[in-house]
C-alpha cells in the first residue's frame, strides 16, 4: 500500500494524514519460483540475523516508474472512496485520476488536493498491489521522498492478501508498516509490525523510529 491522506492538523490517537509521497522503486529480491529465504548451513550466533536468510540479487517484481502518465495498471490498483479507512481521514481516494497519482521523469507522485469530491474536502490516491504482487516471504525495498507539513501522514505499508486468521481482516491478519511519518512530528520515521495481539488500537504495537533530517529533500 502507498497512500497519501489529508486530515486535521492536530495530533490524534488514530492514524494522522499524508500528502504526496514520492516513490521511485518497490522491488522484492527473490526469484519467484524459489523460496525467498535460504536456511543457513551454520548455526546462527545469538543475536545474529544475517545467518538466518539470504536473498536473491535480482527482484522478481519491481517498478522503476519509467513510463510517464498513470501508474502501470498491471502492477497497481486503487482503493477508492471516503470511508475514513478507520483513521478519520478526510480525503476521497480516487480511481486512476492523474491529478492524484502520476509518473513523470521516473518518479511516482501521490498528491492530496484540497477540493470538494462528494462529501470530502480533499482528493488523494491510495495504491496497492494486491492480486498483482503477493508473496509469503521476501524483502521489500522502497526509495521515497516525503512531504513536510502539519496535517500530512505519508505511508508505505503491507497488508495481508487473504483473511486466513481470526474473524476480522485487521488486526487479525496484521500488517507491516515500512514507513510512516506524521506531519506534526517531522523527520521521525516509524516502522513496525501489527497483529491481533499487538496493534495500535490497544496500544501494544511493536514499532521503532529513526530520524531523517532531510526526509523531505532527498530520496
pLDDT at 58: 87
pLDDT at 146: 93
Length of the chain: 219
pLDDT at 51: 53
**What gap in Å lies between CA 85 and CA 159, rounded to an integer?**
13
pLDDT at 188: 96
Return the ∠ at Cα 62 (arms to 158 and 59), rounded to 5°.
95
pLDDT at 65: 96
176-189 per-position pLDDT tens digit: 999 999 999 999 99
62-112 per-position pLDDT tens digit: 999 999 999 999 999 999 999 988 888 899 999 999 999 999 999 999 999
CA distances from 95 to 82, 92, 114 (A): 12, 10, 17
pLDDT at 4: 55
For the chain, list residues with pLDDT below 70: 1-53
Residue where the block lists cell 517484481: 61
> 140 forms bridges with which residues in the sheet?
none
**What gap in Å lies between CA 49 and CA 133, rounded to an integer?**
26
pTM of the predicted protein model: 0.75
Amino acid at each position: 500500500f502507498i497512500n497519501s491522506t489529508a486530515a486535521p492538523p492536530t495530533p490524534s490517537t488514530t492514524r494522522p494524514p499524508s500528502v504526496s509521497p514520492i516513490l521511485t522503486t518497490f522491488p522484492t529480491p527473490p526469484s519467484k519460483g524459489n523460496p525467498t529465504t535460504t536456511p543457513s548451513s551454520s548455526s546462527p550466533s545469538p543475536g545474529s540475523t544475517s545467518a538466518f536468510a539470504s536473498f536473491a540479487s535480482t527482484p522478481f517484481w519491481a517498478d522503476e516508474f519509467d513510463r510517464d502518465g498513470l501508474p502501470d495498471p498491471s502492477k497497481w490498483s486503487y482503493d477508492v472512496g471516503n470511508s475514513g479507512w478507520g483513521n478519520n481521514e478526510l480525503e476521497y481516494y480516487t480511481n486512476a485520476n492523474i491529478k492524484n497519482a502520476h509518473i513523470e521523469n521516473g518518479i511516482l507522485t501521490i498528491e492530496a488536493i484540497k477540493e470538494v469530491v462528494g462529501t470530502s474536502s480533499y482528493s488523494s490516491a491510495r495504491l496497492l498491489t494486491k492480486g498483482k504482487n503477493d508473496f509469503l516471504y521476501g524483502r521489500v525495498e522502497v526509495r521515497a521522498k516525503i512531504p513536510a507539513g502539519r496535517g500530512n501522514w505519508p505511508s508505505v505499508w503491507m497488508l495481508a492478501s487473504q483473511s486466513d486468521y481470526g474473524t476480522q481482516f485487521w488486526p487479525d491478519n496484521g500488517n507491516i508498516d515500512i514507513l510512516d511519518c506524521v506531519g506534526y512530528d517531522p523527520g521521525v520515521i516509524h516502522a513496525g509490525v501489527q497483529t491481533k495481539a499487538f496493534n495500535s488500537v490497544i496500544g501494544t504495537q511493536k514499532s521503532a523510529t529513526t530520524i531523517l533530517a532531510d526526509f523531505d529533500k532527498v530520496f
